[in-house]
Structure 1
Amino acid sequence: MSHFFDRAFLKVSMPVNHLHHLHRPIFVAATRQHVGKTSVSLALASGLKKRFDRIGFIKPVGQQHLIVQSQEDGTDVRVDKDVKLVREHFDLSHLDYKHMSPVIIPPGYTRDYIDGKVSRHDQLRSIHSAFNAQSQVSSMMLLEGTGHIGVGSCVNANNAQVAAMVGADMVLVANGGLGSAFDDLDLNYNMCRSNGVRIAGVVINKVHHDKIDQTRKYMSALLKNNWGVPLLGVVPDKPFLGCPALADLERLFNTELLSGHEHRMRHYNVDGINLVTTSLGRFLENLRVKPTRTMYVTHVTRNDIVLGFLAEHQRRMAEGRSFESALVLCGRKGRYDLFPEIKDMIESLNAPVLHVAESTYKAMESMQFFTPKLNIDDTSRVDQAVSHYEPHIDFELLLHRTSKARSR
């Protein structure tokens, strides 16, 4: 069906209920994966919550979902993981989960849609029903997209189409750089414009500290000269936000810590991971000169390294000194297993030890290329993301751009 039919159908059958709002809804989307869209959404939610009585939040189309309970009727509801994060972190108790994540796309959904088992109009109605329900109890609406602008096109619910449905203005998020960032932005900008979606502005993320002023100057000029769109913010890179916690590694490798469970939310810099292939003596020297929060990776058959690690942990604890290192043991379970006595020793202590059913090379590679995601359990990372991003976003300019008093 054409975009014209979509808009005509929606206008007649499902009017959007935000007429009493002073600002158009804000829709956040990115140019690609892993560029900080959720971090920007969290920062916007924080800033908007300080400026409006009640904000609404919707992830119209989600993929990775959780099961939660509706406070209206106690029924189980599937919601995107970011929905739970935003609702709980900002205490948006006026919003029911039933109206926060209207469309979930699990494996097989696309095939069902193409086969006609999923109704397109029912899908659109779900989004509009959720949006209208929230609009009635909120004075400002914030929506977070999924991936880049085109994600969801195969089920006729990409970010630009959904933003057009609800009359939202778009905030585009891209990673640092000039030429490459603008090239990515241009593709997404054109899809927004083809769907009649207005761009409120752009946020450039993960910019090297020595490139902040240069990025602000030249990206502002590119956006203004080409589109007449402002730069809403330039966010400096903050490596900590990309450092996985041990809990992230549990999820990555589908395993659990053998010990040190209370340290699951301790973060480690993957660029500083040490692969241990040396002698025990050299390892102990390394352990004593490296920063206390260092992650070591070795094969599960290196009993000498395991015992040395545990002994150093006990020694530091006895001396009242900090010991925050973690040990990742690699090797396929069933083929390479810990001796029961050593496993018992590990479990009797509180040093973080993880057994991964991968080769050391594969485990190292997986951790190096892993991008941890924000989640409600990791309050430290969420708090730091909000406090880092929020000051770099020009909220007054954003609200001016989305004001209904201003001509579209």
Structure 2
Amino acid sequence: MAKAIYISATEKNAGKTSISIGLIKYLTEKGMRVGFMKPLAQRYVEVNGGRFSEDAVLVKRIFELPYRLEDMSPVIVEKGLTEEYITKKRRSFKRRIVSAFRRIAQDSDFVVVEGTGHAGVGSCLDMSNSDVAKAISAPTLMMAEGGIGNTIDRIMLNRSLFELKGAMILGIVINKVREDKYEKIQNVLRTALETKGMHTFGFVPYICHLATPTIAQIGEETNATVISGDEGLEEEINDITVATMEPHAVLDLILNSKKNLFLIASSDRLDVLLAIVAAFFEGAKNLKGILLSGNNLPPANILHALKKTGIPVLIARVGVYTLASMLSNLTVKITPGDNKRIESLHKLIAKHIDIELIMRQMEREKEIPWGLWDGGERY
């Protein structure tokens, strides 16, 4: 019978999907049949007319999992759903989630179940992370971002809700730990959490390239159209700058940049566009792409000069500052073809998380209690 682990976090964007992907890869390389599930999801994509968790779709495509998306992503929290549930226009989602989980578990040796946000997310539907973990009898691996005081406070706050619901926390993984504070955070947090009766299974360092977007991801986030330079779309970007300054300042910025630079510029700022072209032919090596803002393309001769740089040129039909706002909140997500990042995650997790210790700890827990469920009528 399958075992399962529930991946929760103290806050959003703590690295649940990244850890899930790394864990699945590790276990599949051990010869295990690993299932995946995202019980509740707020962000979705459309596949064959249905709406499913973008994380579930991603994991299914990366590992070519055989499970139905309807089971991997049973509940999408769309606009209005919470109100419908509270006003009794929707029934409880517990049966749907538990039934979907059981179908995946039947064909798996191990199931990785990824939660949404912190422990309380989903409470408005009576299906918080702690509720779901309890319903499927899965111990929880909690993710928290590297720090000391604030990290401990968040862990204890989230722990209290799991304890209230009777859901077990297996232990903690600390993610995105700054390299210059790694040893200090590791020593202090491990000691602090052990005194509170909590296991720590690993401390994962912050790796810059796992958090930096590619030009393709920038284009997708802004609904931009690629004009030229397709071959450079997988370049990773460290610095996104809005080029609204005078041309000489743009020239200085590009020529002196030490990071992979991506510029946002209005399509009607011809002086800025000419400065970009000039900088490139002056030997600028770190300018990796340009996103034009506006409803119209630049004049043909300037567009031709931009294309000759060979770097990606994109255009989005919104204002410069709207684009800047969109990208300021950009969360980098791994894509199915992102083999470099997937392999990096695998190595990172194998090195910094004691998965064998997690598995031994789980061995002390009983297997999924199939007898508590008989086709969805009882739990």
**TM-score, shorter chain, exceeding 0.5:** yes
Out of 190, 199, 205, the position equivalent to 1:220 is: 190
Secondary structure of 2:175 counterpart: strand
Match of 1:60 in 2: 39
Shift, 1:210, TM fit: 2.4
In the alignment, the residues of structure 2 paired with residue 117 and residue 343 of structure 1 have an alpha-carbon distance, to the nearest angstrom, of: 55
The 8 Å contact of residues 9 and 144 in structure 2, kept in 1 or not, is answered as yes
Out of 266, 272, 295, the position equivalent to 1:333 is: 295
Distance 1:116 1:354, change over 3 A: same
Measured on the aligned residues, the alpha-carbon RMSD in Å equals 2.9
**Matching of residue 386 in structure 1 with residue 358 in structure 2:** no
In the alignment, the residues of structure 2 paired with residue 97 and residue 369 of structure 1 have an alpha-carbon distance, to the nearest angstrom, of: 28
In the alignment, the residues of structure 1 paired with residue 87 and residue 43 of structure 2 have an alpha-carbon distance, to the nearest angstrom, of: 23
In the alignment, the residues of structure 2 paired with residue 323 and residue 222 of structure 1 have an alpha-carbon distance, to the nearest angstrom, of: 44
In the alignment, the residues of structure 2 paired with residue 53 and residue 114 of structure 1 have an alpha-carbon distance, to the nearest angstrom, of: 40
The 8 Å contact of residues 80 and 104 in structure 1, kept in 2 or not, is answered as yes
**Matching of residue 119 in structure 1 with residue 81 in structure 2:** no
Please give the residue correspondences for 1:196-211 in structure 2 after superposition, counting only pairs within 5 Å: 196-211=166-181
In the alignment, the residues of structure 2 paired with residue 396 and residue 361 of structure 1 have an alpha-carbon distance, to the nearest angstrom, of: 48
Identity %: 28
In the alignment, the residues of structure 2 paired with residue 266 and residue 116 of structure 1 have an alpha-carbon distance, to the nearest angstrom, of: 49
Please give the residue correspondences for 1:61-210 in structure 2 after superposition, counting only pairs within 5 Å: 61-68=40-47, 76-93=49-66, 95-120=67-92, 123-210=93-180
Q: Which has the higher mean CA deviation after the structures are superposed, 365-374 or 180-189?
A: 365-374
Match of 1:278 in 2: 246
Q: Which has the higher mean CA deviation after the structures are superposed, 285-294 or 210-219?
A: 285-294
The 8 Å contact of residues 170 and 199 in structure 1, kept in 2 or not, is answered as yes
TM-score, scaled relative to structure 1:
0.80
Shift, 1:101, TM fit: 1.0
**Matching of residue 34 in structure 1 with residue 1 in structure 2:** no
CA-to-partner distance for each residue in 1:61-117, whole Å, 9 max, x for gaps? 112222335xxxxxx543211112212222323x23232111111222212222323
Shift, 1:389, TM fit: 3.2
Match of 2:236 in 1: 267
Match of 2:374 in 1: none
List gaps (5 residues or longer) in structure 1.
Answer: 1-19, 70-75
Match of 1:299 in 2: 266
The 8 Å contact of residues 297 and 329 in structure 1, kept in 2 or not, is answered as yes
In the alignment, the residues of structure 2 paired with residue 258 and residue 299 of structure 1 have an alpha-carbon distance, to the nearest angstrom, of: 15
Shift, 1:207, TM fit: 0.8
Distance 1:26 1:308, change over 3 A: same
Shift, 1:404, TM fit: 4.2
Shift, 1:295, TM fit: 1.7
Secondary structure of 2:198 counterpart: coil
In the alignment, the residues of structure 2 paired with residue 363 and residue 99 of structure 1 have an alpha-carbon distance, to the nearest angstrom, of: 36
In the alignment, the residues of structure 2 paired with residue 244 and residue 303 of structure 1 have an alpha-carbon distance, to the nearest angstrom, of: 27
List gaps (5 residues or longer) in structure 2.
Answer: 368-379
Match of 1:258 in 2: 227
Aligned residue pairs, count: 368
